[in-house]
Structure 1
Amino acid sequence: MEIYELIRSDRRTLAVEITRDGRVLVRAPRRLSQAAIDGFLSRHEAWIARQLEKRRAAPPPPEPTAAEIAALKDRARAVLPEKVALWARRMGVTPSGVKITSARKRYGSCSGKNSLCFSCFLMNCPEPAIDLVVVHELCHIRVKNHGPAFYALLERYLPDYRERKKLLR
């Protein structure tokens, strides 16, 4: 196993992450034994190796400049509220607000109070993928988890959501 950085916190699950610069981060509960962590890493060794190889073969693009991020945020502020309003009417839901951020790890989220948050980097995706993220977050107003009821609702509004999801990668 490659060298990794272990981060212990008040979490309940184990997770492994490959950073943009190719470091391996392992996030673990505070009291989990090293043997359990080692077992987890050995079960995921092939996945980790594939991800590291991908990073080495195709290094990530350079970080966007502040001006590029500002331009993406402006575009998101112009596009996303209209899309949210359109889909919210179709779905019969009402979000409590729409916020644009420069989050890197997720394109959207829905709070417990039904406030939607979108990353400006979503604007780098094709239009069908943007609609998918908007509808996905609006579905969370009705269903707060990713269970079967959630995906049934998502499929009701976007029967091709699986194909659209491939556009996000």
Structure 2
Amino acid sequence: YDGRVRFCLDVVDAVRTVWPERLPLSVRLSCTDWKEGGWDIEQTVELARRLKARGADLIDCSSGGGVADAKIPLGPGYQVPFAERVRREAGIPTGAVGLITDAAQAHEIVASGKADCVLMARELLRDPYFPLRAARELGHTVPWPPQYLRAAPQGAPPR
């Protein structure tokens, strides 16, 4: 185990020496590779504990997809349980990922304590206005970024 995690720990040690203490240091981990006998959540929890001790502030909890015959149970929020478990057992803030595609789903993940934040990629590629739309759906008014103002859709809230 120590040999498998050494590179990750060494990188965090090196980054921490130059990264300002006032800025958060997050580490993205594949919490499982979805292979029998491969990397699993128990090993991830232990690695997260070690990363916390070295000054990591948040674990971005993803999972593997690089093994051709892996059996990945895709579905809405399918990786959220990894964030919840790492948060609970390693005592470090986590970010949840994995088919999180609507405001209510994202809100529930954070409000229920399953993760400290939701991190998105594909949904923002599909819909770059997602954060603004999500805020509106959840009853919040947020200012539009100035560079978006000329492209604001019809019916957008006042600027």
The interval holding the TM-score normalised by the smaller chain is under 0.3
TM-score (norm. length: structure 2): 0.24
Per chain length, whose mean CA-contact separation is higher, i.e. which structure has more relative contact order (CA < 8 Å, sep 6+)? 2
Structure in which a larger fraction of residues adopt strand:
1
Structure in which a larger fraction of residues adopt helix:
1
